[in-house]
Amino acid sequence: MKVLHVGPKNYPPNHGGVEKAVYDIVSGMPEVESHIFTEWQSPDSQPRVKKLPKNLFSAWKQVRQYATENGIDVIHLHKETFIPLAILLELSGFRCVITLHGCAWRLTRWPLRYRLLLWLIDCTACLLVSRVVFVSEHDRRAFERYFKWKKLYMIPYGVVVRECCRATERNGWVYLGRISPEKNILSLMWAAEAAQLHVTLYGPMDRHDKQFQKEFLNTIRKSSFVKWKGPVPSDKVQSVVAMYRVFINPSFSEGLPISVLEAAAEGLYLVLSDIPQHRLLKMPECSYIKPYALDLRGIKPSKNMALVNRKYVEREYSMTRMLGAYSTIYRSLV
């Protein structure tokens, strides 16, 4: 079987749930011949990895030609951004899977007309794409009520729980993810200063919002308690997270935050924004904070290093379960 993945920013990954999910699917299915189209140019030459043109019709033409020439059985697209491409490919006769790693129309920072357009695009995907997968139960429920005649899939991310996960000494709090407005990073830094908590940030800077970049860099320079250490290679994420005691994600909205699962797998206590996507994870050792009024004072992490989180993730969010679910979907289309 040959599967073409479209949508990760880069491969191999250095950030982001989408990139990590694609990497896990590709590396976890050696029986499948995987091909990849990325948004960014990869710094190193990778076999069967190509850069996708930015123009929709140029991308459609190139993917269609590539899939035909290489005998691709299934095209797996990722993110709302690529729904129009998925629809064009479906209309061209290809069998497609689209995974929605989050719904951007939930983000209140976007104008209402833009959010409505994104919602309509998601609805169109549910109508026309062969298989539609959500990583969040909250997002799937939002569309199931309108498309009762069609099965919409929910496949949460999977993580590997290492046998030895505990660092000898753990101190401080850690955030790992994109440094962007929707992740509520500025409020996190201000709240950490107010509570006098040492928080280390890891992740790539948002490339789209120059004003946010400027404000973030100004704030980080003046901060006494917050540090930013940039992106982390995907194979180093869990060992980096394991050095800390508490993992925090104050995001306004999520699909399914894979970094939360990775932190739980390392036995960290979790502090998460009180949003449905986090509540539905049902993490046993966790504190919830209001994303629009962050206050980190008075939070007391569990003394047992939240190892119950580790056991819970091992049971509910295994890599084996995720890979098996996608394998079943691929086989149903061949």
pLDDT of 170 over the 90 cut: no
Cα dist from 97 to 24, 31, 272, 330, 331, whole Å: 16, 19, 30, 8, 12
pTM of the full structure: 0.84
More confident residue, 189 or 258: 189
Planar angle of CA 66, 323, 319, nearest 5 degrees: 135
The whole-number pLDDT of residue 64 equals: 97
Cβ proximity of 16 and 47 under 8 Å? no
The whole-number pLDDT of residue 282 equals: 92
| Tokens (6 digits) for 261 | 């699962």
Is omega for the bond preceding 284 within 30 degrees of 0, making it cis? no
CA-based nearest residue to 60, from 32, 35, 25, 93 = 93
Cβ proximity of 71 and 225 under 8 Å? no
Cβ-Cβ contacts under 8 Å for 270 (sequence gap 6 or more): 246, 247, 248, 249, 260, 263, 264, 283, 285, 286, 287, 306, 309
Strands 74-78 vs 96-100: parallel, antiparallel or unpaired: parallel
The whole-number pLDDT of residue 328 equals: 97
CATH C-level class of 2-158+318-333? alpha beta
Q: What value does the mean pLDDT take over residues 35-64?
A: 89
The whole-number pLDDT of residue 234 equals: 77
The whole-number pLDDT of residue 165 equals: 54
Q: What is the 3-state secondary structure (H, E, C) of 9-44?
A: CCCCCCCCHHHHHHHHHHHHCCCCEEEEEECCCCCC
Q: What value does the mean pLDDT take over residues 113-130?
A: 94
Cα dist from 53 to 39, 79, 151, 206, 251, whole Å: 8, 16, 31, 21, 30
How far apart are alpha carbons 122 and 117 in whole angstroms?
9
CA-based nearest residue to 316, from 269, 274, 256 = 256
Per-residue exposure over 178-205, b if at least 16 CB sit within 10 Å of its own CB, e if not: bbbbbbbbbbbbebbbebebebbbbbbb
How far apart are alpha carbons 320 and 123 in whole angstroms?
30
Structural domain boundaries of the chain?
A: 2-158+318-333, 173-316
How far apart are alpha carbons 237 and 258 in whole angstroms?
11
Equal fold, 2-158+318-333 vs 173-316: yes
pLDDT in tens, 160-169: 888 765 555 5
How far apart are alpha carbons 27 and 21 in whole angstroms?
10
Say which CATH superfamily domain 173-316 falls into.
Answer: Glycogen Phosphorylase B; (3.40.50.2000)
pLDDT of 12 over the 90 cut: no
Q: Residue with structure tokens 């995987």?
A: 34
pLDDT of 253 over the 90 cut: no
Q: Which residues share a beta bridge with 34? A: 3
pLDDT in tens, 215-231: 999 999 999 999 999 98
Q: State the chain's maximal CA–CA distance in angstroms.
A: 60
Q: Residue with structure tokens 């996960």?
A: 165
